[in-house]
Structure 1
Amino acid sequence: MSKFQRFEDLDIWKIAVSIAVDVYILCDSEPLKSDWGMKDQIRRAACSMSDNIAEGFEYNNNPDFIRFLNYAKGSSGEFRNKLIILYRAFKINEAVYNDLYAKSIEFSGKTKALIDYLKKFEAEKKKK
């Protein structure tokens, strides 16, 4: 795996930002536009994914980055849960649900893979 110089170069950050932008656009239309509570919660969960990647990356050490990647992955679960609720309550359509759900699953999988890679790297470093 190559060394990244900026968090903006990470695929998982790009996916997370894409999700957050989609959610902001979604929240600008009804019925979410006037559902202040859910609109705020789903925006926060969506933004938290990329926020945690950015913050963790900037600490410039793998243990902190791993911790923040776990927070980001947790936020993805929170986001997916809210997405499911909105879909089942008929507040978003199936196409929107499927798109955002798929992006969130991709995000979680790639984030988990990066966490595993960094943990392995750190374990190997300790052996030396």
Structure 2
Amino acid sequence: MATITNFENLEIWKKSRELCQKIFISLIQNPNCSQNIKNQIDRSSASVMDNIAEGFEREGNREFINFLSMSKGSCGEVRSQLVRAFDRNFINVNEFNDLKNDLTDLSKMISGFMKYLKSIDHNGNKFQRP
């Protein structure tokens, strides 16, 4: 089993970073989008990647899984905000579907990673003996 030493090497973190950038381009830079939606979706999409990073840095699988759960919840929050942005014509159907599909894929990846962490014997660096 390869050891990941930095959260920036995690595929789920890389994917969440890409999604933040796509949301920035589609909505936050969009002058027609309401400031309220911009602020909310910026915070919740950032929460996805930030919770992955924070959980990883805790160095314990149980805490990591908890933060991944919060990250997964933020994926749902972003999807809900995308629906609102679409309903208000701030993004077109192609942008909406592309972002929604990416978020659904990321949510599945996070679930799979949580399942993996629950299945391994190693509890994280926090619990290694010196």
Structure 2 length normalisation: TM-score? 0.88
Question: Compared with structure 1, are the counterparts of its residues 83 and 122 closer, same or farther at alpha carbon in structure 2 (3 Å cutoff)?
Answer: farther
Structure 1 equivalent of residue 3 of structure 2: 3
Q: Indicate the RMSD between aligned Cα atoms, in angstroms.
A: 1.6
Question: Compared with structure 1, are the counterparts of its residues 81 and 122 closer, same or farther at alpha carbon in structure 2 (3 Å cutoff)?
Answer: farther
Aligned ranges for residues 1-128 of structure 1 at < 5 Å?
2-26=2-26, 27-32=28-33, 35-122=34-121
Which has the bigger relative contact order, CA under 8 A and spacing at least 6?
A: 2
Unaligned residue ranges in structure 2 (runs of 5+): 124-130
Alpha-carbon distance between aligned partners in 2 of 1:92 and 1:123, rounded to the nearest angstrom: 44
Amino acid in the other structure paired with 1:15: K
Question: Compared with structure 1, are the counterparts of its residues 55 and 44 closer, same or farther at alpha carbon in structure 2 (3 Å cutoff)?
Answer: same
Q: Deviations over 1:44-65 (max 9, x none)?
A: 1111000000000001110110
Report if aligned partners of 1:42, 1:79 keep a CA contact under 8 Å in 2.
yes
Q: After TM superposition, give the deviation of residue 87 of structure 1 in Å.
A: 1.1
Q: How many pairs does the alignment contain?
A: 122
Alpha-carbon distance between aligned partners in 1 of 2:2 and 2:104, rounded to the nearest angstrom: 24
Identity of aligned residues (%): 34
Structure 1 length normalisation: TM-score? 0.89
- Equivalent residue of 2:120, what SS? helix
Alpha-carbon distance between aligned partners in 2 of 1:105 and 1:2, rounded to the nearest angstrom: 27
Amino acid in the other structure paired with 2:94: A
Unaligned residue ranges in structure 1 (runs of 5+): none
Structure with the higher fraction of residues in helix conformation:
1
Alpha-carbon distance between aligned partners in 2 of 1:17 and 1:123, rounded to the nearest angstrom: 27
